[in-house]
Chains A and B, each alone.
Chain A
Amino acid sequence: MTGLFRGLLQRLSLRHRLMLFLLGAVSLATMLQGFSAYRTALQEADEIFDYQMQQMALSMSGGQPGRPLSMPEELELIIQGWTAEGLQLFQPPGRAHLPQRAVLGFTNVVADGKAYRVLSVQSGGQVLQVAQELAVRQRLASRLAWRTVTPIAIVLPALMLVVGWVVSRSLAPVERVRRQLAARAAEDLSPVNAAGLPAEIQPMVQELNSLLGRVRQAFETQQHFVADAAHELRSPLTALKLQVQALQRAGDEAGRSLAQGRLAAGIERASHLVEQLLLLARQQAGAPTPRQAVALEPLCRQLIGDALPQAQAKELDLGLLRADPVTVQGEAAALAVLLRNLLDNAIKYTPAGGRIDLMLLQEGAQARLRIEDSGPGIAEGERERVLDRFYRGSEAQAQASGSGLGLAIVKSIAERHGAQLRLGRSEALGGLRVDLVFPA
C-alpha cells in the first residue's frame, strides 16, 4: 500500500506533488482548527448555559405556579416544578416530558431519545427543574466552529491556484530547456541556455553543459581521428591496388614472384597501419589507466628479447645498459606497447651495424626510461611534430613501412601515465635519445 503510494507520488509532477501536499496540509489544519473551535465553543457554551440555568432556577424559586415565565427564546429552556405534594407547578408547553426525578444539581438525562441537561433545585418545598436540550449547545458550538473554518475553505482553492501558477511560472524555464533538448539533433552538442532557471536546477544544467562540452570535445577528437585514419589508409590501399594490378599483368615467373613479394609487403604494411590505428584509438578512448605497480626491468628484458631477432637481422647491438629496480604506477600492457614502439622505431631507423641502448634510472622519487640509438636522430625542429599522429619525419619518409603512428601512440600512453616524454640527441651514440620520466 505504502509502496503503491510512493510509486504514485514519484510519477506525479513536481507541481502536482506540491499541490497535493499543500491541499492535504491545509485541509488537515482546517479540520484541526474546526475541531478545536468546536470543543472550545462547546465548553464555553456549557459554562454560560449552566450559569444561565442556575440564574433562571434562582429567579423562579418561590415564583407563582401557573404563571408563564419570560425567558429568552433562543435558550430553549424547559422549566417544570412541583410542590412538595407532587403538584405540577409549570408545565412545559408541548415540550418533551422530562422524567420527574429530583436528583439535585446538574444531571444529563435522556428522554424521548434526546439528551438534556437538567438542573434541579429545591427551595421551600418546591422542586424546580430547568432543562435544556444538549443539541442546542452542540448546534451553537458547531455554528461557531464552521464560522472559523469557512473562510479557509473558501480561500483554499484560490491558494491552490496561486501555488499552481507560481510553480508553473518557476518551472517554465525548465520546460523551455526540455523543449530545447527535445528539439535538438543527435549531433548538436552545444550548451543549453541556463538563463532564468531556478537556483536549484541551475547547477544541474551547468553540469549538463559541461558534460556536453566534454562529449563534444571527445566527439571532435574522434572525428578528426577517423578522418585522418581514412586519409592515411589511402596510401597503403593505393599501393595494394597497384600491386594486385602488377600481379595480374605479370608475364613471366620472375615478374609474378616479384609482384607477389610486393603484394605481401603491401598487405603487411596495411595490416600494421590498421593495428597501430586500433592501438591508438584504444589509448585515446580515455579509459582510466588501471593503477598497478609495474616493475620496468622485467618488462624491458622481455621486450628486448622479443626485438632481438629483428635487431640481429640488421646487426644492431641492442642491450640494457643500466637497470635500476624501477617500479612505476600504471598498466603493464600499455607500457609494453610503448616500449615496443620505441624499440621498433630505434631498430627501423638505426643503420645496420649500429647500437641501441636502454637505461632504467631511479632519480630520487622519479623513474627515468631512456632509449638511445646511433641512427640519424630527429632534427630539432621536427621533435614536436613527430609526436603528432600521421606526421612522418623526413628520415622516416625514406622508410616504406612506417604508419606515422608509433610516436603518437607512445605520446598517448605516456600522457595517460602522467609521464613526460622528451626527444633529444644522444650524446653517447649520436642518434635519437628518448626520455620518459615517470612521476613519483
Chain B
Amino acid sequence: MRLLLVEDDQMIGEQLLDLLRAEGYAVDWVRDGELAETALQSQNYDLLLLDLGLPRLDGMSVLRRLRARKQRLPVLIATARDALEQRVAGLDAGADDYVLKPFELDELLARIRALLRRASGSAEPVYEHKGVSLNPATHEAMVEGRPVLLTGREWAVLEPLLARPGLVLSRQQLEEKLYSWKDEVSSNAVEVYIHGLRKKLGAGLIQNVRGLGYMVPKQ
C-alpha cells in the first residue's frame, strides 16, 4: 500500500517515514501543501496522511482541492489543531478520520489499517480469500490455518491483490505499492515477488492476466 505523508515538521516526518516503511507501506513524504498537490496529481496513493498547518498551502486547502478533483482516497488528518470546530471542519471538508498530536503510533497505524480496509470495501479486519488470510495488524499470513512467513515486499504485493479479489492490478500499479520515489526499482521486481508468493501460497492464488497484470480471482 502506498501512502503520502504530508508533514512539515522535520523530526516527525523523518521518524514517521521510517516507522511506516517498517510496517510495509510504501511512503512518500512531502513537507508543504504545494508539493502535496503535485504528488497527489501525479501518483496513485492508497491513503493520505495529512498535517493541517503547512507552509505554502494549508492542509485544509489540499484536502478541499483533492475532493474537488473527485479523488476518493482515504484521508487521515494528523494535526495539533484540537478545537472542536477544527475537527468538524476537517471531517466536513472530506477527511475520513482525525487524530490529534501527540498521537500514539499504534493508534495511528490502527486507524490507517481501518481506513485502508474500508476503502477496499471490507469491514473485516483480516483479508481472507481462498484459504489465504492476511492480518494487516499483526502482519500474520496463514494458508489453510498454517502460518507462512512473507517478506515485507511480498506482503506489499499480495495485500492490494487480496484486498480486492477480482481486480486486476498492472505491474506498474504494483510497483507503486512497493516503492517510494527514492527507491531503485528493478524492472522485474514484481515478477520476482509474485514468483516467491506462488511458491509459498500455491500457484493458483495469483493469476497473470496477460497484457493487463495480476489478480486474485473472485471464485
- A residues apposed to B, CB below 8 Å: 231, 234-243, 245-246, 249, 262, 265-266, 269, 394, 397-400
Contacts and interface: CB of A to CB of B under 8 A. Distances in A.
A207 B105 CA distance: 54
B10 interface: yes
A242 B19 contact: yes
Interface string B10-34: 1110111011001000000001000
B10 A242 contact: no
Interface centre among B11, B12, B19, B102 (most CB of A within 10 A): B11
Nearest to B18: A246
Contacts of B9: 235, 238-239, 400
A397 to B, nearest CB: 5
B55 A239 contact: no
26 contacts: A231-B81, A235-B9, A235-B80, A235-B101, A237-B101, A238-B9, A238-B80, A238-B101, A238-B103, A239-B9, A239-B11, A241-B102, A241-B103, A242-B12, A242-B15, A242-B105, A243-B15, A245-B19, A249-B22, A265-B11, A266-B11, A269-B11, A394-B56, A399-B10, A400-B9, A400-B10
B18 A397 contact: no
Contacts of A237: 101-102
Contacts of B81: 231
Given A235-B80, A394-B56, A241 B104 contact: yes
A266 B8 CA distance: 15
Interface in B27-57: 31, 55-56
A241 B11 contact: no
Contacts of B31: 397
Contact of B55 (A231, A266, A394): A394
A238 B12 contact: yes
Nearest to B81: A231
Contact of A262 (B11, B100, B103, B104): B11
Contacts of A397: 8, 31, 55
Nearest to B9: A235
A243 B19 CA distance: 9
Contacts of A269: 11
Contacts of B56: 394
A236 B99 CA distance: 16
B139 to A, nearest CB: 13
Contact of B80 (A234, A242, A394, A400): A234
Contacts of A234: 80, 100-102
Nearest to A263: B15
B106 to A, nearest CB: 8
A251 B14 CA distance: 18
Nearest to B104: A241
Contact of B105 (A235, A245, A398, A399): A245
A249 B16 CA distance: 13
A394 B103 CA distance: 26
A242 B16 contact: yes
A231 B104 CA distance: 17
Contacts of B10: 398-400
